[in-house]
C-alpha cells in the first residue's frame, strides 16, 4: 500500500490532506473532530489582534449545478471572532493531544513589525508546526488594510514574510490571493522574503447570484450585500492554473506549494500534486459533506497510487509540470479528429447542433427511414476542437483520434505561417 505521509516545508503529516484555514478549523471542538476523522493536518482559522472580529448574520451563498449540488461557494465571514487567548490555549491543547498531526496557525495582523513580533512569539509557544500568512482574505479585512490588501502588493508580501522569518523559527507558508493579474509576482515576493512555502488559492472576489425579488446579491444582510470570497469545485481550474504558473516559473522553481481550490476528492488532490503541490488543503467539500470525506480521499489516492506503482507522493508530484507550457511551444503538426462510435450513439444530436451552430459544421446528419437520425464526422472539416466530445452525454462515444503525423514536431516559433517566427 502506498505511503501517504509527507514532509512539507519541514512539516511532517501522516497524509497530505489538510483542512484550510476557515470555519471548519475555528476551534478545538471542530479540529479534534477532524483529526478523529483522519485529516492529516489543519490550518487553524486566522488569528488577529484583539478585540476579535465580529461577524454579520447570513454569511454564505452558493452556486448550484444541474442536480442542486454546490459547485461554487461564497462567504463573507471574517477571521476568527474569538479572543486570541482562547485560540492560543486551544491550539496548545490540541497539538499536545494530537502530536502526529500538522498544526499550522494562520495569521493576519496590521503591517507593523512590533505587532508581528509579538504574535509570532505567542504562536511559537503553542507548539504549532508552522504559520500561514493570510494575505488573501478578499472581503471585509482589506477594508482595514489587511488580507488581500497586503497580498496584492508584492513589496508588502516580501516585507511581512521577512519579519516572520526574522522573529520565528517556524516554517512560514504564504497564502496567496488570486485577486491579482499575475500570481507569479506575489509568489516571487514571498520567496524573496524567505517563505518556506506558498499556499494557493485563497478565495476569489465574487457575487454568486442576485435575489431578483429583493434585488440584492446573496448572502443578504438586511436587504444589502457585499462581495464575498468564492471557492468550491468551480474555482479548481483557476487554482490549478495558478499553481502551474508558480511551479513552472524559473524564479520560484522548487518552492513548496500547498494546493487549495475546489478539492473534493482524491482525484482533485492528485491533479494538484501532479502540478507540483506537496500537500492540499480542503474546505468547501468538508463544509458541505462533513469531515468523513477524508476517508475516501485517503483510500482513493492510495489505491490509485498502487495501480500506478507510486510508492510515495513525491513519486508523481510535479509530473505534469513539464507538460504545461506556453501556447507557442505546442506542436502545430499534431492533429486529432473526432470519431463517433455508432454502436454507442444514442442519437441525441447534441454533437450536431453544437458543431453546426457554434463550431465548424463538421458533423453530417442523415435522417433514417425509421425517423431517427444518424451522425457522422466529416473528417476534412473537423479541426479536432473536442466540442462534440464534450457535449456528448455518452461515455467514450465520441473520441478524439490521433491522425498519423505527416510532419515532424514544429511549434509556432518555427511555423512559416508565423510572421514573427524566430528565423533559425
Partner 1 sequence: MVTNTEKATSYSQQQLALDQMFKDINPALSARQAGIESSRCYYCYDAPCIKACPSKINIPSFIASIHSDDLTGAARTIYQENIMGGSCARVCPTEILCEQACVRNKEEEKAPVKIGLLQRHATDNATFEGHPFERAASTGKKVAVVGAGPAGLSCAHRLALLGNDVEVFEAESKAGGLNEYGIAKYKLTENFAQKEVDFILSIGGITLHTDTALGKDITLEQLKNDFDAVFLSIGLQDTQSLRLDNEDNADVINSVEYIKELRQATDLEQLSIPKDSAVVIGAGNTAIDIACQLKRLGTEEVTLVYRRGEEQMSATKHEQQIAKDHQVRIKTWSRPEQIHTDENGKLTGMSFRKTYLENGKLEDKAEQFDIDCSAIFKAVGQKLNYPEAEQLIPTISNGKIATFHNQLTSIDGVFAGGDCTGVGQDLTVEAVQQGKLAALAIQQQLNSSEVK
The residue from 51, 254, 309, 393 that contacts partner 1 (CB under 8 A) is 393
Closer residue to partner 1 (CB): 110 or 347:
347
Please tell me which residue in 137, 231, 283, 397 is annotated as part of the active site: 137
Minimum gap (Å) between residue 38 Cβ and partner 1: 31
Cβ burial of 400 (10 Å; 0-12, 13-18, 19+) is: middle
Q: Which segment (48-56, 60-68, 252-260, 281-289) binds partner 1 by CB under 8 A?
A: 60-68
Nearest of 126, 47, 139, 136 to residue 91 by alpha carbon: 126
> Is 67 one of the binding residues for partner 1 (CB under 8 A)?
yes
The residue from 18, 163, 291, 352 that contacts partner 1 (CB under 8 A) is 352
Closer residue to partner 1 (CB): 69 or 155:
69
Footprint of partner 1 on residues 362-381 (CB under 8 A)? 365, 371-373
Nearest of 90, 80, 81, 93 to residue 21 by alpha carbon: 80
Tell me the angle at which helices 293-308 and 28-37 cross, rounded to the nearest 10 degrees: 40
Torsion of CA 115, 121, 123, 128, to 10 degrees: 150
The residue from 20, 244, 350, 359 that contacts partner 1 (CB under 8 A) is 350
Cα separation, 356 vs 240, whole angstroms: 32
The residue from 348, 378, 385, 400 that contacts partner 1 (CB under 8 A) is 348
Alpha-carbon separation of residue 371 from 347, 356, 368 (angstroms) = 11, 20, 6
Asked if residue 126 lies in contact with residue 168, where contact means CB atoms within 8 angstroms, the answer is no
H or E stretch covering 229: strand 228-231
Active site residue 388: no
The residue from 253, 323, 325, 353 that contacts partner 1 (CB under 8 A) is 353
Nearest of 203, 129, 138, 141 to residue 172 by alpha carbon: 129
Closer residue to partner 1 (CB): 109 or 338:
338
Convert residues 323-342 into a mask of x (bound to partner 1 by CB under 8 A) and - (unbound): --------------------
Closer residue to partner 1 (CB): 226 or 353:
353
The residue from 346, 383, 390, 405 that contacts partner 1 (CB under 8 A) is 346
Catalytic positions are 137
Which residues lie near partner 1 (CB under 8 A)? 66-68, 346-350, 352-353, 365, 371-373, 393-394
Amino acid at each position: 500500500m502506498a505511503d501517504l505521509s509527507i514532509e512539507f516545508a519541514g512539516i511532517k503529516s501522516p497524509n497530505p490532506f489538510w483542512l484550510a484555514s476557515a470555519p471548519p478549523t475555528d476551534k478545538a471542538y471542530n479540529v479534534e473532530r477532524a483529526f478523529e476523522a483522519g485529516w492529516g493536518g489543519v490550518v487553524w482559522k486566522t488569528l488577529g489582534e484583539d478585540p476579535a472580529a465580529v461577524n454579520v448574520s447570513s454569511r454564505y451563498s452558493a452556486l448550484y449545478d444541474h442536480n442542486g449540488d454546490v459547485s461554487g461557494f461564497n462567504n463573507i465571514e471574517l477571521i476568527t471572532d474569538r479572543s486570541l487567548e482562547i485560540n492560543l490555549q486551544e491550539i496548545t491543547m490540541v497539538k499536545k493531544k494530537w502530536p502526529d498531526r500538522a498544526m499550522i496557525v494562520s495569521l493576519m495582523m496590521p503591517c507593523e513589525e512590533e505587532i508581528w513580533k509579538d504574535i509570532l512569539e505567542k504562536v511559537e509557544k503553542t507548539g504549532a508546526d508552522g504559520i500561514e500568512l493570510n494575505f488573501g482574505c478578499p472581503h471585509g479585512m482589506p477594508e482595514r488594510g489587511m488580507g488581500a490588501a497586503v497580498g496584492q502588493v508584492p513589496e508588502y508580501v516580501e516585507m511581512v514574510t521577512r519579519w516572520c522569518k526574522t522573529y520565528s523559527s517556524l516554517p512560514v507558508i504564504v497564502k496567496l490571493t488570486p485577486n491579482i493579474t499575475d500570481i507569479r509576482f506575489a509568489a516571487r515576493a514571498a520567496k524573496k522574503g524567505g517563505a518556506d512555502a506558498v499556499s494557493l488559492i485563497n478565495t476569489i472576489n465574487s457575487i454568486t447570484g442576485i435575489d431578483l425579488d429583493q434585488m440584492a446579491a446573496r448572502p443578504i444582510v438586511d436587504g444589502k450585500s457585499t462581495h464575498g470570497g468564492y471557492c468550491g469545485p468551480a474555482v479548481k481550474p483557476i487554482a490549478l492554473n495558478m499553481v502551474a504558473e508558480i511551479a513552472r516559473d524559473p524564479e520560484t522553481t522548487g518552492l513548496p506549494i500547498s494546493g487549495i481550490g475546489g478539492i473534493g476528492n482524491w482525484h482533485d488532490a492528485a491533479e494538484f500534486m501532479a502540478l507540483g503541490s506537496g500537500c492540499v488543503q480542503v474546505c468547501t467539500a468538508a463544509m458541505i459533506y462533513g469531515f468523513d470525506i477524508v476517508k475516501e480521499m485517503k483510500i482513493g489516492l492510495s489505491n490509485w497510487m498502487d495501480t500506478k506503482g507510486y510508492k510515495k507522493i513525491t513519486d508523481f508530484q510535479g509530473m505534469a509540470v513539464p507538460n504545461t507550457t506556453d501556447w507557442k511551444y505546442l506542436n502545430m503538426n499534431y492533429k486529432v479528429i473526432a470519431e463517433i462510435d455508432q454502436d454507442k450513439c444514442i442519437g441525441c444530436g447534441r454533437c450536431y447542433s453544437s458543431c453546426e451552430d457554434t463550431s465548424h459544421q463538421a458533423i453530417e446528419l442523415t435522417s433514417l427511414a425509421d425517423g431517427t437520425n444518424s451522425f457522422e464526422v466529416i473528417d476534412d472539416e473537423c479541426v479536432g476542437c473536442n466540442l462534440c466530445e464534450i457535449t456528448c452525454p455518452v461515455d467514450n462515444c465520441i473520441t478524439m483520434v490521433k491522425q498519423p503525423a505527416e510532419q515532424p514536431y514544429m511549434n509556432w516559433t518555427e511555423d512559416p505561417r508565423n510572421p514573427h517566427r524566430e528565423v533559425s
